[in-house]
Structure 1
């Protein structure tokens, strides 16, 4: 099974010139001492911005991991982007959602301080929380060998989401919604590329509430801003699994899978 290691400043021109791609520092140490990567093993090194270089390991020590560039891929970003708005949740359920969604192909993650969120990021916790989620996204991207590293934005308020609804196709997951997500995708994605403003090119934003669900006034505000309420099925999923399930449905409809 191949492994992916990340080096954000990996330059395609430098790889083409030298025929070598490498990582150093903590990433190299982790690759050699934790992953036990050895000479001759075939692995990949990427920059998180579409470049993935694959080949056999030619240097493997705690200071550097280098591979021969046998295969160089430049992957274009997917369109439309799939964006997950994940409400803060207790017990690490929000982090579970971020990890699974990254592995399933989400393109960006937005932490949301919902009215019913028990967990709160305040003061120094705001920056620390974003850093923690970014770390989870990075590791999940490596595990799933993704060419593009999803963005993790700053903490959003409900007012921020209202503004986002005006410039995206926002879908709010709500168990009581009349419209199923599968019905929405059949109707909306079937019209891809048509209509004013090429609506199909807008980000598809999935909004997942906290443990107690999204408050009624938040649902009203988001709907008024242009969001659509959709349900996944006849059961109620946890906040840790709802986003992943929705992403799976959309990925199938968009032809990503």
Structure 2
């Protein structure tokens, strides 16, 4: 069943009001008719089964049949921090990371980031990234849309990182055979905890960046014996977190 994320003020009593791109999608893409049903999610992570009652040129109105009891989110919140990668790799990270359960994405301007952040073009990029997250959340039947932040510097990131657990993927410790830190962190996660994962760009993180993160209570982790691409590592760790927190129980 098609799912749409709406603002809280689009829910009034037992009705929903759908406008803009979502209304266009229902009418022009899905070609739905009055009487068909959809799922509408509010900003609090609640989902309602709704029936379309009225379709006009620029608005769709529906009635709430029932509020659903859904458990689609991981029991921990996960923030993926990615060193700005080349091309559309960040779009892939956001799309697939949303499907795998990430709660927030923060690009950061790493020493080895080839891409230079352009503030003038940044607003459109940020809008696109958030649109990708929304569409991926709808497709994967999430109850929340992950947030995508504007790129930060490492210092800004540390100042904003108030998670209960913080790790940094570092290929040099992986080469040395480190294999227990990630397991230790994940096995100690409790429902309601938050985890922040820092992953470098294509060239990896510098020793100075990792040392700075260690000074601020980040734990260095190897992600297995193979070296993963910048766009693969976030998906690897999200899969491991999901297995540990959702399937092990």
Q: In the TM superposition, what are the counterparts of 1:101-120 in structure 2 within 5 Å?
A: 101-120=97-116
Q: Structure 2: which 5+ runs fail to align?
A: none
**Residue of structure 2 in register with 1:7 after alignment:** 6
Q: 1:234 to 1:36 in 2, by over 3 A?
A: farther
Counterpart contact for 1:86–1:112, Cα < 8 Å: yes
Residue 187 (str. 1) matches residue 184 (str. 2): yes
Residue 222 (str. 1) matches residue 222 (str. 2): no
Q: Alpha-carbon deviation of 1:85?
A: 0.5
Counterpart contact for 1:24–1:65, Cα < 8 Å: yes
Normalization by structure 1: what TM-score? 0.82
Normalization by structure 2: what TM-score? 0.85
Q: Alpha-carbon deviation of 1:171?
A: 1.2
Q: Deviations over 1:87-112 (max 9, x none)?
A: 21112111111111111111111111
Residue 46 (str. 1) matches residue 41 (str. 2): yes
CA RMSD in angstroms, aligned pairs only: 2.6
Q: 1:143 to 1:207 in 2, by over 3 A?
A: same
Q: Alpha-carbon deviation of 1:47?
A: 2.2
Residue 26 (str. 1) matches residue 17 (str. 2): no
State the distance in 1 between where 2:26 and 2:222 align.
Answer: 42
Residue 242 (str. 1) matches residue 242 (str. 2): no
Q: 1:256 to 1:57 in 2, by over 3 A?
A: farther
State the distance in 2 between where 1:156 and 1:221 align.
Answer: 15
Q: Structure 1: which 5+ runs fail to align?
A: 194-199
Aligned residues: 244
State the distance in 2 between where 1:116 and 1:61 align.
Answer: 51
Three-state SS of the structure 1 residue aligned to 2:87 is coil
